[in-house]
Structure formats: structure tokens, C-alpha cells
Amino acid sequence: MNRDVEDFEQWVHARGGALARSAYLLTGDLHLAEDLVQETLARVAQHWKRVSRRGNPDAYARQVMHNLAIDRWRRRSVRPPELLTDSHPEVGHGGPDVERRLVLRDALAQLTPKQRAVVSLRFYEDLTEVQAAAVLGCSVSTVKSQTRDALARLRSIAPEEVLR
């Protein structure tokens, strides 16, 4: 049993940052992202033995995270409105890309939750359309149309950043 706990802890230390960035892309709020990561890690920990035996805990965690995010979107009336904060796990306190990242952050905030999820999976997680559809539990054509619509919206909001 100790070995499973050690393996889980090592995996969390290795993948925690990536999970936090993905959660932020999905929620658009640092605090909601932290909650989403904690909930995801709790679910992964419950099934760690089975998940680690299958050999792809990243995929399982990604699917859990997106399912939890979708559940939250469906309960819009009981959740607080999405608000972006000045803190951003990717931006930090400075650097050459800060302005660009802030423009992209603001542009992403104007997408629908499903569009943000698709953009996150396709371009940040680098999943194929089929893989993204499996994570989101929708059809490949839905992923394609949401990607098309999201990119069109991003191009209209921040053309200089999206076309780079």
C-alpha cells in the first residue's frame, strides 16, 4: 500500500503544474482552478491502483477534470460568475510574453466554457479531435464545430495574437 501512495505522490508532483494550468484554462479563475485540481486529485487518488495499473493516469485525470468542469457548467445557477484575477499560473510576475498572455487570457475568457475546453484540449493538451471528443463525451463533429467557432471568435477578438 505504501508503494501506491508514493507513486501517487510522485505523479502529483510531476503533473500538478500541468493540471493547474489546464484547470485555469477551463475555469478562467485561479480559485476555481485550484478547487477543480483538488477535486480531480481526490478522484484520481480514489482509483489510483486501477489507474496506475492501466498505465495512463494523465489521461484519466484529464477526463475526470473535464467531466467535473462540465458538471460545473451545467450548474450555472449555483456557481459564482467566472471572474479572472490578476494572478495567472502561466504569467507570473513578469517576462517578455506578459502582454501577449494577458491578451490571450482575456480573449479566452470571452469564449463559452465548451469552447474553452475544446481549445484547451486541442491546442494546450495537444489532443486529436477524436481524443478530445472522448474526454468531453461528445461527437467528433461537435469538437470540430466548437474548435472552428472558438478560433473564429479568438481571431476577431485578438487577431494579432491568434495568427502568430
- Quote the CA–CA distance of 125 and 37 in Å, as a whole number: 16
Task: Please give the pLDDT value at position 146.
Answer: 93
Query: Do 48 and 8 meet the contact criterion of CB atoms below 8 Å apart?
Result: yes
Task: Please give the pLDDT value at position 38.
Answer: 93
- Quote the CA–CA distance of 66 and 117 in Å, as a whole number: 7
Task: Please give the pLDDT value at position 106.
Answer: 82
Q: What is the DSSP letter of 80?
A: P
Task: Please give the pLDDT value at position 105.
Answer: 80
- Give CA angle at 29 (48, 35), nearest 5°: 30
Cell of 52: 496506475
Task: Please give the pLDDT value at position 41.
Answer: 94
Rounded to 10°, the helix 57-74/30-46 angle is 130
Buried/exposed 124-150: b ≥16 CB within 10 Å, e otherwise: ebebebebbbbbbebeeebbeebbeeb
Cell of 64: 475526470
Cell of 88: 495567472
- Quote the CA–CA distance of 8 and 109 in Å, as a whole number: 32
Three-class secondary structure of residue 1 per DSSP: coil
Helix (H) or strand (E) holding 106: helix 98-109
Distance of CA 84 to the CA centre of its chain: 15
Q: State which residues of the chain have pLDDT below 70.
A: 1, 75-97, 161-164
